[in-house]
Structure 1
């Protein structure tokens, strides 16, 4: 898939609200990478409304621009990271598509298939590649890219992450992205919790066409069974998972409540997430 003629960088940057360090300055450096990445996450919501209706969303750039940039909609990992990859390439970065196994909630990495898309980004003049990911719909996801350096801890926009090696069968080194999760209470310690594991083997857009179709149409896929909607602001992380709305504040305070009816769910998507749900769609299972 070619990015040329299908992606409007100016329109995309205006939509996410990123102007750069100075007027007209768009340098392919680490500051730009971090700024665009964070602005994308705050500017475009995560949602699986298409997959929830068992419809595979298009990963072609004209469709992504129409849905994620020009409409009051969002998308899930393949849509977010395909769009972000196009933006980064247009800005002068090198981008390689990666696949990952999401391991949140499991002790065996082999129990999950490689269905998540992440990005390996090369910054001109920097010997280190960076892991970028604007499509992980969970509070343990990256807000800013991290260098692919094993063992080092990185903090970005208030979240802490690290990469560690994982023992596995195969010739390629496998890495685990871990997020530092705070305990309850001011004095409670935190724990490092794995989010997903990956190798640096490159994948192509055609690979994700297959993965996207599987995740969006398989009745056993979690994305076809319940809503996953996420919105980030500087002060909070808002997550709707099925009927449960969870708000996590920047200070770590967490509140939860259960939605009771379709009207409430539709109003919430509109007012809090900035999403216009398709007319007639049943939102709550």
Structure 2
């Protein structure tokens, strides 16, 4: 990427107020504000609309047009915002293990960021759907670290790291990765796989999430859930297409794409049992 992001427009988009300085407190605040304002969403792959990892297009989509995106889009934009503030940032890539066996060999299909602050390395990731990291973690193994939601930790063995979250009293792995920096072309390849491979789950159903203060909201096809911090999860199934479209705008803060086949694709989703 050769062009710089419009940092003031990005900060307005996420509702960040105050001075954006390249320190740890700002990094955590930026990440929490980003995931509360910009939802994780896969509408473009779901609608067979190509995703191009080019900053001007991503900036128009996520910042100007009021859309969200999935990990590559989210973390590309976040990376460039951090660089504009003055953080040294490198991209990493991970194998997703969320809700899978710990030893599964999955594709390298998830982007995250390594950020340097005062000689110390941190990890940031604003693109992991319903279990997105609402803050940032010091790159230190075996250390439980607080976020605005669940505690997180990192494990390391033989150069392989695992990101875990404490969910209902159990440490669950989100993904594993190493610290080899990646070039943009690596993400272009992984993005093409994730957004076009026939077996990619992003093509076949809605996968929407937003992490607001005290709440995680998720929509999986017709199943809407509100996970309250320290409380119960409330779930309901949605049959009516208008209700789903309203939910996307009202709860997920999405400005819906103006395409004629959005309604038809939603109506084709399997009805709840």
Question: Shorter-chain TM-score: what band?
Answer: over 0.9
Runs of 4+ in 1 over 6 A off after TM superposition: none
Q: How many residues align?
A: 264
User: Which residue of structure 1 aligns with residue 78 of structure 2?
Assistant: 84
Matching of residues 35-114 of structure 1 within 5 Å: 35-114=29-108
43-52 or 55-64: bigger deviation: 55-64
Where does structure 1 lack aligned partners over 5 or more consecutive residues? 168-172, 183-189
CA contact (8 A) 1:17 1:43 kept: yes
1:1-285 matches, within 5 Å, as 1-4=1-4, 7-20=5-18, 25-123=19-117, 125=118, 127-139=119-131, 141-166=132-157, 173-182=159-168, 190-278=169-257, 279-280=259-260, 281=262, 282-284=265-267, 285=269
Q: What's the offset of the Cα at 1:236?
A: 1.1
The answer to whether the Cα contact below 8 Å between 1:37 and 1:145 also exists between their aligned partners in 2 is yes
Find the aligned partners of 1:119 and 1:109 in 2 and give their Cα distance. Answer: 23
TM-score norm. by structure 2 comes to 0.92
CA distance in 2 between partners of 1:137 and 1:252 (Å): 20
List runs of 5+ in structure 2 lacking aligned partners: none
| Equivalent position SS for 1:210 | helix
Range 80-89 or range 222-231, more displaced: 222-231
Q: Normalising by the residue count of structure 1, what TM-score does the alignment of the two structures yield?
A: 0.89
Range with bigger deviation, 261-270 or 101-110:
101-110
